[in-house]
Amino acid sequence: MRLFVLSLLALPLLAGCQQKTQGDVVREAYDNKADQIDAQAEQQPTKTAKEIYHDQADAYREEGKDREKGLEGKTPSKGPSSAGTPPPSGGPAQ
């Protein structure tokens, strides 16, 4: 019986681990878009084009991290300031 009661007490703690914050959702959207861009990069015929696409994907990931930090009240990374600028076309809406 004690084990059952202890397991019931631990259940809410486990449920809280699954909840995503608004920052998590935003970052995941940017990561998904970056993954799409990376996939497009592999379809490019030249090395230069592939690098451009991969750089764009990296920029999306970095911006996603910065926006997540902003929503959580943390300081963004040291990259160029993008505060107040909209994401490039095709970016996740907020």
Report CA Rg, the chain.
Answer: 19
Query: What pLDDT is attached to residue 20?
Result: 85
The two three-digit tokens of residue 9, written as one number? 């007490």
Q: How far apart are CA 89 and CA 17, in angstroms?
A: 33
Per-residue pLDDT of the chain (94 residues; tens, 9 = 90+): 555 544 555 555 555 566 888 999 999 999 999 999 999 999 999 999 999 999 999 999 999 999 999 988 887 776 554 444 555 555 555 4
Residues 22, 23, 24, 30: what is their CA dihedral angle, to the nearest 10 degrees?
110
pTM confidence score:
0.61
pLDDT at res. 94: 47
